[in-house]
Copies of this chain bind each other. A is one copy, B any other.
Amino acid sequence: MKHRIYVVGMGPGQENMMTQEAMQVLEASDVIIGYTVYLKLLGERFGCKELLSTPMRQERERCQMCFEKAREGKKVALICSGDAGIYGMASLMLEIGKLYDDCIIEVIPGITAASSGAAVLGAPLNHDFCVISLSDLLTPWERIKKRLIAAAEGDFAMAIYNPSSHKRADYLERACRILMEHGVEPERACGYVENIGRDDTKAVTLPMEELVHTPVNMFTTVFIGNSQTKIIDGKLVTPRGYHI
């Protein structure tokens, strides 16, 4: 019988925004592996289990640890923030899994920041949309730029992940300027959410011409409306197309 390893999306952070399926999988596991910050979020409830981590950027080692622990006969869950399959560890686990044919990987979805952030802002993704990460750690900037241009030309609503970091303080500004060069008007309705799913969640709606000058931190998800998006009573709303 093969060893089954679960890759679990924890959602934005608050325990009640996890699915019951995700909670059940964690409760049934012997070992929970993840980035330290996420393990701390679980903390008390799962203190009796083996909690393991590797430093940031050692994602491959974290995956290998999962397979090694599973081969010891342990029930293993690898946790990711948001959705395990959206900028999470699911694909790396499936790629490395080629080397461990006695293991099966099962992905348990979670609420990604596009969903949870959109809910805080109103309904900015209520029509066709793109999700784009501005992190160029693993993706060449030219590819990110190409996708921003395509998203603008396709008149998609957008959720922008990883809009900023210490080393990339001006990336959101760069992205906004690219969008504006390709048809996004200065008046375009936009918004951002900081610290989704935590006590100090902060949500702001603003036009593109202000967003371009707004510094955001690395715990922020940015939303760009499509050409139909409106701000209604402080909420960011992309209509589905009904006649009101």
Which residues in B have their C-beta under 8 angstroms from that of A95? 232, 237, 239, 242, 244
Q: Interface residues of A: mostly helix, strand, loop or mixed?
A: mixed
Is A192 part of the binding interface, using a Cβ–Cβ cutoff of 8 Å? no
Which residues in B have their C-beta under 8 angstroms from that of A242? 59-60, 92, 95, 138
Is A107 part of the binding interface, using a Cβ–Cβ cutoff of 8 Å? yes
**Copies per complex of this chain:** 2
User: Looking at A96, A115, A139, A242, which has the most chain B CB atoms within 10 Å of its CB?
Assistant: A115
* Least Cβ–Cβ distance between A9 and chain B, in angstroms: 8
Task: Classify chain A: how many residues form its interface, as a range.
Answer: 35 or more
Contact A18 B16 (CB under 8 A): no
Which residues in B have their C-beta under 8 angstroms from that of A23? 20
Which residues in B have their C-beta under 8 angstroms from that of A244? 60, 92, 95-96
Cβ contacts A176-191/B at 8 Å (1 or 0 each): 0000000000000000
Quick one: closest B residue to A241, CB to CB? B138
CB contact between A109 and one of B97, B115, B151, B233 (< 8 Å): that residue: B115
- Contacts A128-B130, A130-B129 known; A109 to B116 CB distance under 8 Å? yes
Is A126 part of the binding interface, using a Cβ–Cβ cutoff of 8 Å? yes
Is A17 part of the binding interface, using a Cβ–Cβ cutoff of 8 Å? yes
Contact B16 A24 (CB under 8 A): yes
- Contacts A109-B118, A110-B115, A111-B110 known; A123 to B147 CB distance under 8 Å? no
* Least Cβ–Cβ distance between A121 and chain B, in angstroms: 9
